[in-house]
A and B are shown apart, each in its own frame.
Chain A
Amino acid sequence: MRSKTHFPAEANGWTRAGDTRVFGRDTVFDYMNGAGELYLAYDFQRVHVQDYVRDGGPRIVAEAYEMASSQDAFGVFSNDPEGEDVGVGQGNAYAVGLLCMWKGAWFFRILAESDTLEAKAAVVAIARTLAEPIADGPKPQFLGRLPSSHLETVSVRYFHTHVTLNSLYYLADGNILGLSPRTEAALATYRPSGGKLVLLLVRHPSARDAQSAYREFSRVYLKDKPPPDGPRRIETIEGGQQVGVLIKDTFLALVFEATSRDACQRLLDDVAKHL
């Protein structure tokens, strides 16, 4: 994609203001300070930024994030996918002036500084023009490993690194699961009748890496309780919460916030069927 080619010149009366700015991996902090870490954690390549203005209307800022893969574009989007579906891209969410969208290896963030009907129409028009020349790309196949029963679909997050995990669901200071750009991870909430459980599923590059993460999790999080002989364990922690662990080949599954051992066991059983 060539940014100047695909940012529309006009959308619902809004016109481009200034040149398209481009920030790469080395300069992204100049544009967005520490917010750049979110994108770098998904193998971000560069962001193209274009302002739009209209007399009497709010400024609109359109950001097009170029990622290394469609899986990572989806991953960024999955950080906050809740909002109105306005029918653009492979997935989108509009709320209070901000439209987030992904398509192919691109993630878009288009923000109107004030949420008006006219600005919303312009935001959607810009998004549609940006998305049009981009071919669809695959979602992470890895997400097919998540059991679908009782899954809160909108809760699913896809990521790679410890930095992202801790911004979504703080686990520990250190990178105790050995997360890296080479790992795939998903966080999801399950709500069986009246309950809530959080599943963290990780696929490591090798079974040895998964075993290492299992040992470190047991040492740090389960406070050196000796692991059982089998591939799974359930431990009671503070507040009577149950923590479940299952390891299989390159996969490590962790269940948090279960209020009963049975609920934890059932989700681990379900996970095991998908690995």
Chain B
Amino acid sequence: MAPFTRRDFLRDTAAGAVGVSLGLSAAQTAFAADAADAKTTVVLIRDEAAMADGKKPNAQVVEAMLDKAVCRLSGKDDPTAAWKTYIKADDTVGIKVTVYMISTSKEVAGAIKAGAKKAGVPDERILTGDKGNSPGKKKPVTALINAPSLKAHHMSGIGCVIKNYIVYHAKPSSLHPQSCSELGAAWQADSIKGKTRLIVVDGLLPLFDKGPQVTPKYRWPYRGLVVGTDPVAVDAVCLRIIQAKRNAFKGEPWPVSPPPKSVAIADTKYHLGTSDPAKIHLVKLGWQKDALV
């Protein structure tokens, strides 16, 4: 197989499938119009009140947003019933957050914990952490909630859902070559494999370039959460948001660089979900201004 090059992104054909499916090509494949046509649903919820000043999240608003998103995702009206769709009362729940650089806000982590408690899980069986304290590393878990922040990443293009589990790999830095294309391998670790029940991406104050280090000029108060059960589909939606923001910022195409191949490869090689927008039903709730997708 010929090496992948920049030219592949310039094509609007199947040869540029990765770019097209991830929204990097000039050709933008639309998300599935109807859930019946899709393999998975991703909920994007935004609320202007989630960060009234554009900096400090409002915990109550964030929890209400997350409950609403989980209700929509599960098809249940009641938040307790909705959370029980994904978490059982006898689960030991791990909330895998990002604590370094562009971190998951404590308000989002708190809202997730509150959701697990609604499902009947007591405090002592809800573990939240990252790196050496990542749930499942020291203490076993039965259910994981993947809760990264939304950010561009200079090594992988995007550092979000798939990348959030790199800490579970025996040697994380070994996944850095080739634009971190093999990040899906981290999901094969025995301690976590098959345990991810829900994905909640903190998109309150994302970063659209120079991640993962904090560069404030590339952050903006998007005030959103992206919620789903398919890690690849959620990453594909997140990538579309980041790409759209970059284009808007520069006023011309500004491709995510390097191309986030790990997302497509998580689909085609590791079978963790779908990266094809045509198979993703995107539900947008709440505040729609500048939603970008």
Contact = CB atoms under 8 A, between A and B. Distances in A.
A165 B176 CA distance: 15
Ordered nearest first, which 5 A-B pairs have the shortest CB separation? A96-B216, A238-B10, A172-B5, A167-B154, A95-B217
A176 interface: yes
B216 A95 contact: yes
B3 A176 contact: yes
Interface stretch (A27-35, A141-149, A204-212): A27-35
Tier of interface size on chain A: 35 or more
Tier of interface size on chain B: 35 or more
B139 interface: no
Given A37-B176, A170-B259, 15 more contacts: A29-B172, A34-B166, A34-B212, A35-B154, A38-B154, A95-B217, A96-B217, A98-B214, A114-B55, A167-B257, A170-B255, A171-B5, A173-B5, A176-B5, A221-B6
B101 A220 contact: no
A34 B259 contact: no
Q: Which of B2, B180, B258, B261 has the most chain A CB atoms inside 10 A of its CB?
A: B258
A77 B213 CA distance: 14
B155 A163 contact: yes
Interface string B177-193: 01111000000000000
Given A98-B215, A170-B259, A241-B10, A220 B210 contact: no
A239 B10 contact: yes
B138 interface: no
A237 B10 contact: yes
Nearest to A95: B217
A220 B3 contact: yes
A111 interface: yes
A90 B185 CA distance: 43
Contacts of A34: 153, 155-156, 159, 166, 172-173, 176, 180, 212
B289 interface: no
A72 to B, nearest CB: 17
B101 A35 contact: yes
Interface string A164-179: 0011111111101000
18 contacts: A29-B173, A34-B153, A34-B155, A34-B172, A35-B101, A95-B217, A96-B217, A111-B214, A114-B55, A171-B5, A171-B6, A172-B4, A172-B5, A173-B178, A223-B2, A237-B7, A238-B7, A238-B10
Given A29-B173, A221-B5, A237-B10, A170 B258 contact: yes
Contact of B216 (A38, A97, A171, A256): A97
A115 interface: yes
Interface string B76-98: 00000000000000000000000
A152 interface: no
A115 B219 CA distance: 13
A33 to B, nearest CB: 6
A83 interface: yes
Given A171-B5, A238-B7, A239-B10, A32 B210 contact: no
A80 B210 contact: yes
Contacts of A32: 100-101, 212-213
Contacts of A172: 3-6
Q: Which of A29, A166, A169, A220 has the most chain B CB atoms inside 10 A of its CB?
A: A166
A224 to B, nearest CB: 10
Interface in B136-162: 153-156, 159
Contact of A166 (B2, B179, B215): B179
Contacts of B212: 32-35
Contacts of A111: 214, 216
A53 B270 CA distance: 45
